[in-house]
């Protein structure tokens, strides 16, 4: 078994703010089938330590960025976890990144530097006789691990950094250099300096042996100024080390035939009871047009402002909208306002896992108008539940949906609708196309069937990660 330590700030079902958690939580099981033994290193937020069964202390650290820490080894939700118990850093309730005022905790750079620090320690010293051969870090929170590896003797441990979202660069002011235990000689444009600040993500991107991102199209996009967020030069430089490996979804948790949160169904036609239940739950009236759903963080990335502007097109095809999400207060208010003025629009502000299943099971279509989307998971939930995805042609949305072009319809391969550019007009056009397809029940049913048959699990991608670790091992 190849030994891999996954290093991440979130892991479903213990702590989740987005798709990162789903991926980190799914990889160990998916990879076990490929001969990889993956343990996950997580910060000991209250939700994580509370969920940890049978925990034992396996390492003690006197001063982990301002206080003592111990590393606990234990199991939760079938995962093999290493958890950093460091109350001075993590014993804070709620969201892992934000304080009660909704702002980032001021010491976030140190809180996640500690995660990387412990990863390097485990690579060097092992725990209970277990030493990883590969450190696999996720996003900026794991970015400093390659810097810290330079200060320890970790033998031939190899490193992989996965970019789930390059928009989060993990910035810190330069005066924190010492506190972050970074080598000041490496604070320059070819090191971890980024626009005059320290960037944890950049540290990982320059230091890791291999970079991956969560879809092939996003890998391409990252090399461009439009999507690279100032890191595109670096990404171009490392292009031969960058792989795009598409995320999968948990096909057990998202199984329309056995989902405890819904009325199980086997075919698109079987969705009716779920649609009626969703309408009742959301207070939507009966209607002829398609019931469109959105389950999303409400941020600029997700393009929901465009959706607000495209509501007239949705209503023109007789469509209804049900939204579950939270985020930007201005967007939340604007959707609430739209719902207050139109009985065919219903909005639920909040985060609710079970409800997300009811939304996707009950919807006819799921809308994902993201400006950029490294992978995106909800469109894949939609495919699996016969809920036709209407998506922007970007990132993983480009890689997972087969657009209902005349050619794809002719060969009956279509699974959804894609639109470009990501503008209100193009989104409105996509909604009009949705309305036309909705008017053709046979075509619609065929699309649903295709969608439900499309493989969206981890199989192929787990093999790609396993092959990558093997390749790194061979180079060591
Ligand atoms: P991102 O990670 O950028 O938010 P993804 O599509 O990869 O986008 O993952 C989002 C995950 O979070 C999905 O599992 C989605 O179902 C879930 N999610 C987002 N908003 C909510 C919400 N309000 N309630 C429940 N689940 C949500
Ligand atoms: C990020 C991206 C999303 C991706 C997820 C998991 O949150 O925004 O597109 O699916 O990570 O990789």
For a substitution probing ligand 2, which of 374, 381, 392, 398 has the most ligand atoms within 8 Å of its CB? 374
Binding site membership of 8 for ligand 1 (Cβ less than 6 Å) = no
DSSP 73-98: EEEETTEEEEEEE-HHHH---SSSSB
Ligand 1 contact, 351 CB (< 6 A): yes
Whether ligand 1 lies within 6 angstroms of the CB of 168 is answered as no
Going along the chain from its start, the domains and CATH numbers come out as: 2-248+459-475 (3.40.50.2000), 268-453 (3.40.50.2000)
Describe the crossing of helices 19-32 and 459-475 by its angle, rounded to 10 degrees.
Answer: 70
CA of 151 to the centre of ligand 2 (A): 31
Nearest ligand by distance to the CA of 245: 2
- Say yes or no: CB of residue 18 within 6 Å of ligand 1: yes
Q: How far is the CA of 174 from the centre of ligand 1 (A)?
A: 33
Q: List the 210-213 sheet strands across, edge first.
A: 53-61, 69-76, 79-85, 36-43, 2-7, 134-138, 158-163, 210-213, 242-244
Cβ 294 vs Cβ 325: under 8 Å: yes
How far does residue 89's CA lie from ligand 1's centre (Å)? 26
Ligand 2 mean position to 65 CA, how many Å? Answer: 29
Give the model's pLDDT for residue 344.
98
pLDDT per residue rounded down to tens, the chain (476 residues)? 999 999 999 999 999 999 999 999 999 999 999 999 999 999 999 999 999 988 999 999 999 999 999 999 999 999 999 999 999 999 998 899 999 988 999 999 999 999 999 999 999 999 999 999 999 999 999 999 999 999 999 989 999 999 999 999 999 999 999 999 999 999 999 999 999 999 999 999 999 999 999 999 999 999 999 999 999 999 999 999 999 999 999 999 999 999 999 999 999 989 999 999 999 999 999 999 999 999 999 999 999 999 999 999 999 999 999 999 999 999 999 999 999 999 999 999 999 999 999 999 999 999 999 999 999 999 999 999 999 999 999 999 999 999 999 999 999 999 999 999 999 999 999 999 999 999 999 999 999 999 999 999 999 999 999 999 999 987 65
Show the CA angle centred on residue 44, arms to residues 133 and 302, nearest 5°: 85
Q: Which atom of ligand 2 is nearest to the CA of 396?
A: 9
């Amino acid at each position: 078994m190849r030994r891999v330590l996954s290093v991440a700030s979130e892991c479903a079902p213990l702590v989740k703010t987005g798709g990162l958690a789903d991926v980190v939580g799914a990889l160990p099981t998916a990879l076990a089938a490929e001969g990889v033994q993956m343990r996950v290193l997580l910060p000991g937020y209250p939700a994580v330590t509370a969920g940890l069964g049978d925990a034992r202390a396996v390492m003690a650290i006197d001063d982990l960025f301002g206080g003592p820490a111990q590393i606990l080894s234990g199991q939760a939700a079938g995962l093999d976890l290493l958890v950093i118990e460091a109350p001075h850093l993590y014993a804070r309730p709620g969201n892992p990144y934000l304080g009660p005022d909704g702002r980032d905790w001021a010491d976030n750079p140190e809180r996640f530097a500690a995660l990387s620090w412990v990863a390097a320690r485990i690579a060097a010293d092992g725990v209970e006789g277990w030493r990883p051969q590969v450190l696999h870090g996720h996003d900026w929170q794991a970015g400093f691990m390659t810097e810290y590896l330079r200060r320890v003797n970790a033998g031939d441990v190899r490193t992989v950094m996965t970019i789930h979202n390059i928009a989060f660069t993990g910035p810190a002011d330069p005066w924190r250099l010492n506190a972050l235990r970074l080598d000041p000689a490496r604070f320059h444009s070819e090191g971890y300096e980024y626009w005059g600040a320290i960037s944890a993500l950049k540290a990982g991107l320059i230091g890791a042996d291999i970079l991956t991102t969560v879809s092939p199209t996003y890998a391409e996009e990252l090399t461009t100024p439009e999507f690279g967020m100032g890191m595109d030069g670096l990404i171009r430089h490392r292009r031969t080390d960058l792989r795009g490996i598409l995320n999968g979804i948990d096909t057990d948790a998202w199984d329309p035939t056995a989902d405890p949160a819904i009325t199980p169904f086997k075919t698109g036609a079987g969705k009716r009871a779920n649609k009626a239940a969703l309408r009742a739950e959301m207070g939507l009236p009966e209607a002829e047009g398609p019931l469109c759903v959105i389950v999303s963080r409400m941020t600029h990335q997700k393009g929901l402002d465009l959706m607000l502007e495209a509501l007239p097109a949705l209503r023109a095809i007789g469509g209804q909208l049900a939204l579950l999400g939270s985020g930007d207060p201005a967007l939340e208010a604007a959707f609430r306002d739209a719902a207050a003025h139109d009985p065919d629009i219903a909005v639920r502000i909040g985060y609710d896992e079970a409800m997300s299943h009811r939304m996707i099971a009950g919807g006819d279509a799921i809308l994902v108008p993201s400006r950029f989307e490294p992978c995106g998971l909800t469109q894949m939930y939609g495919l699996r539940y016969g809920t036709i995805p209407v998506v922007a042609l970007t990132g993983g949305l480009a890689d997972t949906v087969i657009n209902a072009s005349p050619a794809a319809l002719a060969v009956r391969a279509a699974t959804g609708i894609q639109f470009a550019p990501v503008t209100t007009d193009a989104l409105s056009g996509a909604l009009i196309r949705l309305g036309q397809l909705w008017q053709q029940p046979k075509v619609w049913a065929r699309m649903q069937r295709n969608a439900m048959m499309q493989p969206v699990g981890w199989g192929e991608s787990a093999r790609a990660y396993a092959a990558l670790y093997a390749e790194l091992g061979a180079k060591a």
